[in-house]
């Protein structure tokens, strides 16, 4: 399936973000947020299969064609949340839906819990609450993060002589993907350098988090969501293997559908994208 894609950019007060724009101008407003180390191409199979939506698929900060954050800045989840609100304000969208995958789903949930008056619907793919940490672990985790930041200057990104080598490496990365998915991500995510190609992503994205929310914090955001929520879980994805994750789902008033496929089931193949679309189309069309 092919669809017209418009490349757009948003000049925010602190950063410039790139995005793909899909759908009719009068469609239901939706901001789509990809996962960690991915880019807007994550939705290139799925977005054309969601008719009637005006989808802005962002390259989140530090990813794809978007700018990197300023020196001394970080990539915390709440920083992404602010970016989304500023993009929505530029679009004139007082209320909008969120379509999120993995890290993008987590950012979507935090936004819906924090500013429920702005979010109309949540459509999430293999992502929900953030990875958590308890108070006793906080000093150790902050120390690890600070040491990693100091060591980053001495590290270099890998350079691939051929694009296919980068695609093969991405297939084996965190959240392993199909060749089709890796090719789409690479097409938008690579840039030429001396000796070949490397990823556009900011190296700081690989640093460990200096602070994690506790489980109680994470669940509180879920409890604060007021809009309809539809969650697609991949049978071979990353959520179902998380300890105690099923406890989070128990008794929750939202739709959960388990589908065959891996963490990137919406991008790994056209067939996988269609199955996800078949879940979300009725959801977006609902009251």
How far is it, in rounded angstroms, from Cα 220 to Cα 211?
17
Q: Find all residues with CB under 8 Å of 2, minimum gap 6, and list them.
A: 48
Kindly state the tokens that stand for 214. Answer: 């506790």
Hey, what long-range contacts does 251-259 have (CB within 8 A, 24 or more apart)?
252/222, 254/228, 254/229, 254/230, 255/229, 255/230, 255/231, 255/283, 256/231, 257/230, 257/231, 257/232, 257/233, 258/232, 258/233, 258/234, 259/232, 259/233, 259/234, 259/235
What does the DSSP assignment read for 234-262?
Answer: EEESSSTTSTTHHHHHTT-SSEEEEEEEE
- Strands 16-22 and 53-58, by their bridges, are antiparallel
Residues designated catalytic = 102
Are 259 and 233 a contacting pair, CB within 8 Å?
A: yes
């Amino acid at each position: 399936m092919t669809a017209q894609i418009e490349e757009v950019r948003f000049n925010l007060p602190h950063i410039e973000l790139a995005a793909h724009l899909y759908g009719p101008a009068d469609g239901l407003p939706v901001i789509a947020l990809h996962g960690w180390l991915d880019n807007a191409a994550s939705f290139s199979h799925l977005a054309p299969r969601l008719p009637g939506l005006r989808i802005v698929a962002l390259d989140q900060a530090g990813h794809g064609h978007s700018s990197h954050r300023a020196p001394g800045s970080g990539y915390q989840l709440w920083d992404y949340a602010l970016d989304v609100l500023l993009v929505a304000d530029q679009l004139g969208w007082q209320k909008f839906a969120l379509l999120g995958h993995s890290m993008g789903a987590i950012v979507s949930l935090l936004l819906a819990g924090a500013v429920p008056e702005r979010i109309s619907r949540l459509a999430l793919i293999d992502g929900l609450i953030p990875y958590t940490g308890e108070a006793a672990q906080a000093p150790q985790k902050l120390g690890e993060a600070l040491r990693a930041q100091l060591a980053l200057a001495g590290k270099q990104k890998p350079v691939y002589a051929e694009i296919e080598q980068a695609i093969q490496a991405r297939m084996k990365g965190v959240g392993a993907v199909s060749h089709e998915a890796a090719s789409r991500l690479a097409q938008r995510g690579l840039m030429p350098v001396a000796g070949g190609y490397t990823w556009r992503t900011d190296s700081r994205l690989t640093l460990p988090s200096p602070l994690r929310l506790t489980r109680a914090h994470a669940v509180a955001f879920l409890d604060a969501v007021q809009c309809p929520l539809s969650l697609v879980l991949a049978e071979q994805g990353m959520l179902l293997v998380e300890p105690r994750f099923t406890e989070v789902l128990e008794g929750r008033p939202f739709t959960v559908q388990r589908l065959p496929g891996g963490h990137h089931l919406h991008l790994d193949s056209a067939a996988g994208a269609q199955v996800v679309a078949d879940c979300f189309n009725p959801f977006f069309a609902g009251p």
